[in-house]
Amino acid sequence: MKSAMVEKEGFAALVLRLRAEGISDIDLLTAVEQTPRSQFVPAQFAADAYSSRTIPIDCGAFMESADMAVKLVHRLQVKPGQRVLEIGTGSGFMTAVLGKRAERVVSIDRYKTLVEMAHNRMDDLGIRNVVIRHADGTNGLVGEGTFDRIISTAAFPTLPRFFTEQIVSGGMMIVPITMEDGRCVMTRFSKTGSRFEREEMFETPYLPIEPHIARYL
């Protein structure tokens, strides 16, 4: 009962912060409410599940704050019927929220441990339209066709070439780009035909993408 109350109060505080930033999409907030964030954080950080801080998870990784996760899904503008590729599953929280918004989500991570844990969480929540794979995300996901939306939580030095081939015309992708001055800026690319429009949004704490799958984790 206590954990349910903490969950409810944490979500309510998150909604207030999001509304202060102009995010009040009912469908999105409902999807977040239906995805108990405390199930995605290590037990010792349960009290911080809905806080605005990053949280350490297994494999030396971290999960972005609740605020950042929802803000990214909001900016991605996912619509019903769309296919989404996520590079960097992490805890699986954002994956699950995307799954409640899209027709199908394919998420990849280089750490087998994180993939297995996220897969179990999807099962526990009854989310059936999400596929999580243990794969190297440096080249996107070959062989899965194209996607309407792509989001990466691993930073690239520039717009990756594979993005241009794996996103549909009219599609959108959000990816952290490492700037020459060392800042990491979340950047949105919108595709019209073969042309891309670029919008730099805000700084993020994401780390550069690492090639190859992790051998031991």
Could you please report the per-residue DSSP string of 162-211?
HHHHHEEEEEEEEEEEE-TTS-EEEEEEEEETTEEEEEEEEE--PPBP--
In a domain, 117, yes or no: yes
Give the total number of structural domains in the chain.
1
pLDDT at 53: 93
In a domain, 17, yes or no: yes
Report the C-alpha gap between 158 and 141 in whole angstroms.
18
In a domain, 61, yes or no: yes
15-41: pLDDT as tens digits = 999 999 999 999 999 999 999 999 999
List, in sequence order, every beta strand (DSSP E) within the chain.
Answer: 55-56, 62-63, 83-87, 104-109, 130-134, 147-152, 167-178, 184-192, 195-203
In a domain, 213, yes or no: no
User: For tokens 């194209």, what's the residue?
Assistant: 146
In a domain, 208, yes or no: no
Report the C-alpha gap between 144 and 140 in whole angstroms.
10
Query: For 41-48, which contacts have Cβ atoms below 8 Å and span 24 or more sequence positions?
Result: 41/91, 46/3, 46/6, 47/6
Q: Among 128, 173, 176, 174, which residue's Cα sits nearest to residue 148?
A: 173
The letter for the amino acid at 8 is: K
Length of the chain: 217
Domain that holds residue 32: 2-203
Instruction: With a cut of 60, say whether residue 115 has pLDDT above it.
Output: yes
Instruction: Round the average pLDDT of the chain to a whole number and report it.
Output: 91
* 2 — pLDDT class (breaks 50, 70, 90): low
> What average pLDDT does this structure show over 154-177?
89
> What average pLDDT does this structure show over 179-205?
89
- CATH code where residue 102 lies: 3.40.50.150
In a domain, 25, yes or no: yes
> What average pLDDT does this structure show over 167-180?
92
In a domain, 211, yes or no: no
Instruction: With a cut of 80, say whether residue 1 has pLDDT above it.
Output: no
In a domain, 217, yes or no: no
> What average pLDDT does this structure show over 154-167?
85
Instruction: With a cut of 90, say whether residue 131 has pLDDT above it.
Output: yes
67-107: pLDDT as tens digits = 999 999 999 999 999 999 999 999 999 999 999 999 999 99
> What average pLDDT does this structure show over 63-69?
94
pLDDT at 216: 62
pLDDT at 80: 92
